[in-house]
Amino acid sequence: MKVICNQSELMNALNIALRAVPSKTSYPVLECFFLKADAEQLVITTNDMEIGIETRLSCRVDTPGKIAINARIFSDIVRKLPEDIVFLETDKDYIMMITCGKAKFKISGTSGEDFPPLPDYEKTNVVKMSQYTLKEMISKTIFAISANENNAIMTGECFEVEGDKLRITALDGHRIAIRNIQLRAESDKCQVIIPGKTLNEISKIMSGNIDDEVCICFMDRQVIFEFGTTVVVSRLIEGKYYNVNPMINSSYLTKVIVNKKDFTDCIDRAILLVKESEKRPVIIDIRDGVMSFNMNSSIGTMDEDITAMKEGNDLTIGFNPKFLMDALRAVEDEDITLYLTTAKQPCFLRDAEDNYIYLILPVNFVGR
């Protein structure tokens, strides 16, 4: 193999591929980049057996070839090279010579024959959208997945396609985050659970530009993301996702419209008095024209009022302030509408079109 490429372009491609290199594994080949040079491009593949990434780099290929090379060592070397032209050359013993300016390295590789390839697939069940849209939907819901791997289903997000609608749902047992969008075209009905780890990595790799497209291919046990010169393959979480529809009702006894910035700033100040070990709730009194906030912890106390428009019953209710803050940060609207029933039933943040729905369970509290 003999390849000539740009250092910064090579480093960008390696940074993408590194996201599927495991930090620890009993299979040394998984710690490698599998490099394949052919047809004026260098294809870089990594695979940790949960996520696989293939990204392509345009370059000059004088001699086609393949090699598996330790990912950490190779990427560290390329990162330290000057921003210049990089020459990569391998011999029959899979020794790679890396030359850039006056810097020269030789590192050992292998044939990569035992490197697990990414699966072949057909673009049959496909959804397309802008990278901006997908990145936004992930960022507005991913905070609500569970970190507890004992319940694998809660560590992922449910992607549900029906006609030209896509709904993404995340939950952790204390809250639910839902985002709905209209797709450019109708697609086959399907429901899959995509690991949160995959979605986090996808979000970091995508450009997020509104003009850049991402193509999502749903398969029986895997999902494929194609965007730009990159393909990401991920396993799906097996099992049936929770039916959240019965919990998402439109009935309420109290409706409150409040300025998002006022609400967010108030919760942000309340969090200053919260110790992780204490998990103190913020207590909210909802009365005509006002929402009163109270925080009482070992650090101190806080009381604050903000203006709000209320319909229906007065109500006093407690919440985990972090859960409230996560939902508030995910809403773009200037004013937020809350729907509540009792102090022991969920609170809903939702817009009129149900583009977003955030359900938060209240917290029990004793007095003040």
Q: Please report the pLDDT score of residue 208 as a whole number.
A: 87
- Taken in order of first residue, the domains within the chain and their CATH numbers are 2-110 (3.10.150.10), 126-245 (3.10.150.10), 249-360 (3.10.150.10)
Residue type, position 134, single letter: L
Task: Judge whether residue 249 has pLDDT over 90.
Answer: no
User: What are residue 259's DSSP bridge partners?
Assistant: 335
Q: Which residue has the higher pLDDT, 278 or 185?
A: 185
CA distances from 290 to 255, 260, 304, 311, 344 (A): 12, 14, 10, 11, 21
Find, among 216, 220, 232, the residue nearest to 192 by Cα.
220
What is the Cα–Cα distance from 283 to 267, expressed in whole angstroms? Answer: 10
Q: Please report the pLDDT score of residue 122 as a whole number.
A: 79
Q: Hey, how many other C-beta atoms are within 10 angstroms of the C-beta on 281?
A: 23
The tens digit of pLDDT for each residue in 290-327 reads 999 999 988 999 999 999 999 999 999 999 999 999 99
What average pLDDT score do residues 340-350 get?
96
Helices (H), 58-122: 71-80
What is the Cα–Cα distance from 283 to 363, expressed in whole angstroms? Answer: 9
pLDDT bin (cut points 50, 70, 90) of residue 46 is very high
Q: What is the mean pLDDT of the chain?
A: 94
What is the Cα–Cα distance from 282 to 280, expressed in whole angstroms? Answer: 7
Q: Hey, how many other C-beta atoms are within 10 angstroms of the C-beta on 327?
A: 27
DSSP state of 153: G
Q: Please report the pLDDT score of residue 62 as a whole number.
A: 96
Q: How far apart are the first and last CA of the chain?
A: 72
Residue 17: which residues within 8 A CB-CB, separation 6 or more?
33, 44, 45, 46, 53, 54, 55, 71
pLDDT bin (cut points 50, 70, 90) of residue 367 is low
**Element (H or E) spanning 66, and its range?**
strand 65-70
Task: Judge whether residue 277 has pLDDT over 80.
Answer: no
What is the Cα–Cα distance from 318 to 190, expressed in whole angstroms? Answer: 37
Task: Output the six-digit token pair for 39.
Answer: 């047809």
The tens digit of pLDDT for each residue in 123-169 reads 778 999 999 999 999 999 999 999 988 899 999 999 999 999 999 99
Q: Please report the pLDDT score of residue 121 as a whole number.
A: 81
